[in-house]
Amino acid sequence: MKSSGRTRAAVDTHVEHAGHAKRHVRGLDGLRALAVVLVFLSHKAHVEAIDVGKLGVWIFFLISGFLIIGELHRDRLRIEAGSARRQAVMCVFFMKRALRIFPIYYLLLIALSIAHALFYQRDVDLGLAWHFAFLSIYWIGVVKDGWPGSVSLFWSLAVEQQFYLVAPFLLVLTPASKQRRVCVLMVVAGVIGHLAMHAADASEPLLYAFSPLNAALLALGGLCGVMRRQGIAGGRSSIGSAGALGMLLFATLPIWDQWTLPVRMLNSAWIEIGLALSLCMLFAWIVGGPGGFVVRALECEPLAYLGKISYGFYLFHNLIPAKFGHVPSWFAWLHAPSWMPTLFALTLQFALAVLLAHLSWHLIEKPLLELKKPLEAAIARRLPAVRTQTQTQTQSR
């Protein structure tokens, strides 16, 4: 009997490890790195021809939706199979999100509050109280109706945090077979809401930060996750090609000449919706298969590591002063091109952001994330699965 019990435990452990391996998706860390680089270029290099910052944030939304809705879908399947309790699933979910987001976020906000009171941008209303409550989108879009400079990036974190508050209640309580339908309804509602805001002539900050299209992108990422779990996939090559072509088309429409026919046929709302759908198709192509040149490139070690520390990079990069490393006099005697001092400054700012993110990861984020497994085990002991309870009762008889 003891040997049989050990064998069963070994099998259960193997299944658990196999499930974890299946949940690892190649290329996601590289995608995070690309996303954060696009945001950096928007904030620091002031790339204006194409809104690369929006593309970067949208990639983050797709990844978050893919991972979070995919996790909740798996949890719902476990609940339906009797191997997990609803209360335990909810507790584990919020515990993981709190460990990942809160420590570095609130440490940064506390440091910003002290610095703002003493010397940092004292003449600028940074809306720090709103950021503490993850209400940045409401403050930017409704109260201020404008961008607050260096802390404007908090709006995307507010979108994701509000999604984390709603998603578990919506998806854990919904049968797994209907979750794909829920994601589709969220996408449709987000598109309709975005069109309605454009029709109401909403301001640019309100559209950018408060648009339901942001939630639609999270749902699109989740739809990719659920379909991947259910084994639903089309031709990867055709999906990826269509997504890349559509993304190129819609991303470059704003810089085409006014005589170009598609520009006259489409307004900015439809351009944004088309860009979001094309980006989702490209994302689905990347996460929908195990290999390919693009995935291998995204898995290269420097890119993957930047993706791993991308949360800290995202939080810190915009707080680095724009003048840091900007010393044109150093290049004057070399008769260097005018773009050289700018490139030098951007390189130093990027390197400093990487250094801060590296320290944050190893000193704060990684040690805290290592608490997830013991805390999850404690929750499982406190709230055991229904099937485990039944087995215990049977053995006691």
Question: Does residue 335 belong to any structural domain of this protein?
Answer: yes
Residue 335 domain boundaries: 26-388
Tokens of 394: 């049977």
Mean pLDDT, rounded, for 314-336 = 83
Neighbours of 294 (CB within 10 A): 17
Mean pLDDT, rounded, for 70-80 = 94
Question: Does residue 397 belong to any structural domain of this protein?
Answer: no
Question: Does residue 150 belong to any structural domain of this protein?
Answer: yes
Question: Does residue 205 belong to any structural domain of this protein?
Answer: yes
Question: Does residue 3 belong to any structural domain of this protein?
Answer: no
> Between these two residues, 282 and 308, which has the higher pLDDT value?
308
Of 179-183, 214-218, 232-236, the range with the lowest mean pLDDT is: 232-236
In the structure, what pLDDT confidence band is assigned to residue 232 with cuts at 50, 70 and 90? low
pLDDT digits (tens, 9 = 90+) for 130-164: 999 999 999 999 998 888 888 889 999 999 999 99
In the structure, what pLDDT confidence band is assigned to residue 23 with cuts at 50, 70 and 90? low
Question: Does residue 20 belong to any structural domain of this protein?
Answer: no
204 within 8 A of 46, measured Cβ to Cβ: no
Domains in the chain, number: 1
Query: What per-residue confidence (pLDDT) applies to 128?
Result: 92
> How many whole angstroms separate alpha carbon 365 and alpha carbon 301?
20
Query: What per-residue confidence (pLDDT) applies to 244?
Result: 53
Query: What per-residue confidence (pLDDT) applies to 231?
Result: 67
pLDDT surpasses 90 at 31: yes
Quick one: what percent of the chain has pLDDT higher than 70?
81
Question: Does residue 17 belong to any structural domain of this protein?
Answer: no
Question: Does residue 56 belong to any structural domain of this protein?
Answer: yes
Write down the pTM of the prediction: 0.86
Query: What per-residue confidence (pLDDT) applies to 331?
Result: 73
Give the C-alpha distances (Å, rounded to integers) separating 222 from 40, 53, 210, 311.
26, 22, 20, 20
